Amino acid sequence: MSGTTTSDIGAVDVGLTELAATEVRKFLEQESLSLDSAGLRVSVRPGGCSGFEYGLDIEEDPREDDFVVPSQGIRLFIDPFSAQYLGGVVIDYHSSFQGSGFSFENPNATGGCGCGDSFSA
Protein backbone atom coordinates (compact mmCIF):
# COMPACT_ATOMS: atom_id res chain seq x y z
CA MET A 1 0.00 0.00 0.00
CA SER A 2 2.93 2.35 -0.43
CA GLY A 3 1.10 4.59 -2.92
CA THR A 4 -2.15 4.76 -0.99
CA THR A 5 -3.08 8.22 0.22
CA THR A 6 -4.71 8.53 3.59
CA SER A 7 -6.68 11.69 3.10
CA ASP A 8 -5.89 14.83 5.03
CA ILE A 9 -8.83 16.48 6.78
CA GLY A 10 -10.85 18.09 4.02
CA ALA A 11 -8.98 16.41 1.14
CA VAL A 12 -11.96 14.16 0.42
CA ASP A 13 -14.80 14.91 2.80
CA VAL A 14 -17.04 11.83 2.51
CA GLY A 15 -18.81 10.16 5.38
CA LEU A 16 -21.13 7.40 6.46
CA THR A 17 -23.97 7.70 8.92
CA GLU A 18 -23.86 5.29 11.84
CA LEU A 19 -26.63 3.21 10.26
CA ALA A 20 -24.80 2.99 6.92
CA ALA A 21 -21.59 1.94 8.69
CA THR A 22 -23.49 -0.82 10.51
CA GLU A 23 -24.75 -2.18 7.18
CA VAL A 24 -21.26 -2.04 5.62
CA ARG A 25 -19.87 -3.97 8.62
CA LYS A 26 -22.46 -6.69 7.96
CA PHE A 27 -21.26 -7.01 4.35
CA LEU A 28 -17.61 -7.14 5.45
CA GLU A 29 -18.43 -9.87 7.99
CA GLN A 30 -20.34 -11.88 5.37
CA GLU A 31 -17.25 -11.78 3.15
CA SER A 32 -14.96 -12.60 6.14
CA LEU A 33 -12.93 -9.43 5.52
CA SER A 34 -10.97 -7.49 8.13
CA LEU A 35 -11.83 -3.88 9.00
CA ASP A 36 -8.06 -3.26 9.14
CA SER A 37 -7.51 -3.77 5.42
CA ALA A 38 -10.87 -4.05 3.62
CA GLY A 39 -13.28 -1.22 3.00
CA LEU A 40 -16.07 0.29 0.96
CA ARG A 41 -15.26 1.62 -2.50
CA VAL A 42 -17.31 4.74 -3.16
CA SER A 43 -17.23 5.74 -6.80
CA VAL A 44 -18.82 7.99 -9.36
CA ARG A 45 -19.00 6.92 -12.98
CA PRO A 46 -20.56 8.38 -16.10
CA GLY A 47 -24.04 7.02 -16.68
CA GLY A 48 -27.48 6.98 -15.20
CA CYS A 49 -30.34 9.17 -16.31
CA SER A 50 -28.78 12.40 -14.98
CA GLY A 51 -25.18 12.03 -16.19
CA PHE A 52 -23.40 10.31 -13.29
CA GLU A 53 -24.19 7.39 -11.03
CA TYR A 54 -22.84 6.25 -7.70
CA GLY A 55 -21.17 2.92 -7.10
CA LEU A 56 -20.56 1.03 -3.85
CA ASP A 57 -18.45 -2.12 -3.64
CA ILE A 58 -16.73 -4.05 -0.88
CA GLU A 59 -13.01 -4.48 -1.58
CA GLU A 60 -10.20 -6.27 0.23
CA ASP A 61 -7.60 -3.50 -0.20
CA PRO A 62 -7.37 0.03 -1.59
CA ARG A 63 -5.77 0.66 -4.98
CA GLU A 64 -2.44 2.44 -5.22
CA ASP A 65 -3.88 5.87 -6.09
CA ASP A 66 -6.94 5.73 -3.81
CA PHE A 67 -7.75 8.19 -1.08
CA VAL A 68 -8.48 6.20 2.09
CA VAL A 69 -11.02 8.04 4.21
CA PRO A 70 -11.98 6.70 7.64
CA SER A 71 -15.63 7.11 8.63
CA GLN A 72 -17.48 5.49 11.55
CA GLY A 73 -14.73 2.82 11.78
CA ILE A 74 -15.04 1.94 8.07
CA ARG A 75 -12.34 2.64 5.48
CA LEU A 76 -13.73 4.33 2.36
CA PHE A 77 -11.69 3.85 -0.84
CA ILE A 78 -12.09 6.70 -3.33
CA ASP A 79 -10.34 7.03 -6.68
CA PRO A 80 -9.11 10.47 -7.84
CA PHE A 81 -11.82 10.82 -10.55
CA SER A 82 -14.64 10.16 -8.08
CA ALA A 83 -13.11 12.35 -5.37
CA GLN A 84 -13.87 15.53 -7.33
CA TYR A 85 -17.62 14.78 -7.19
CA LEU A 86 -17.85 13.43 -3.65
CA GLY A 87 -16.79 16.36 -1.44
CA GLY A 88 -19.31 16.73 1.37
CA VAL A 89 -21.28 13.60 0.47
CA VAL A 90 -22.98 11.71 3.29
CA ILE A 91 -23.98 8.10 2.67
CA ASP A 92 -26.96 6.85 4.66
CA TYR A 93 -28.97 3.64 4.80
CA HIS A 94 -32.76 3.49 4.83
CA SER A 95 -34.99 0.53 5.53
CA SER A 96 -38.76 0.43 5.32
CA PHE A 97 -41.55 -1.89 4.24
CA GLN A 98 -41.15 -0.45 0.73
CA GLY A 99 -37.49 -1.43 0.48
CA SER A 100 -34.04 -0.71 1.77
CA GLY A 101 -30.75 0.58 0.46
CA PHE A 102 -28.03 3.18 0.60
CA SER A 103 -28.74 6.81 -0.23
CA PHE A 104 -26.47 9.75 -1.00
CA GLU A 105 -26.79 13.33 0.18
CA ASN A 106 -24.60 15.25 -2.26
CA PRO A 107 -24.30 19.03 -1.86
CA ASN A 108 -22.47 19.18 -5.24
CA ALA A 109 -25.35 17.74 -7.25
CA THR A 110 -27.11 20.26 -9.45
CA GLY A 111 -29.83 17.82 -10.42
CA GLY A 112 -31.00 14.27 -9.99
CA CYS A 113 -33.76 11.90 -10.86
CA GLY A 114 -36.37 9.81 -9.11
CA CYS A 115 -34.17 6.73 -8.78
CA GLY A 116 -31.81 8.43 -6.33
CA ASP A 117 -28.78 6.68 -7.85
CA SER A 118 -28.08 9.27 -10.55
CA PHE A 119 -27.08 12.93 -10.39
CA SER A 120 -25.70 15.81 -12.43
CA ALA A 121 -22.92 18.15 -11.37
Walk along the chain (121 residues) in steps of 10 and give the mean pLDDT of each run: 44 91 96 95 81 91 95 96 92 88 83 50 44
Structural domains of the chain sorted by starting position, each given as residue range(s) with its CATH number in brackets: 5-120 (2.60.300.12)
pLDDT, position 113: 54
Question: DSSP class of residue 89?
Answer: -
pLDDT at 98: 81
List, edge to edge, every strand of the sheet that includes 15-16: 15-16, 90-96, 99-105
Nearest CA among 111, 76, 110, 79 for reference residue 90: 76
Q: What percent of the chain is helix, strand and coil (3-state, nearest 5)? A: 15, 40, 40
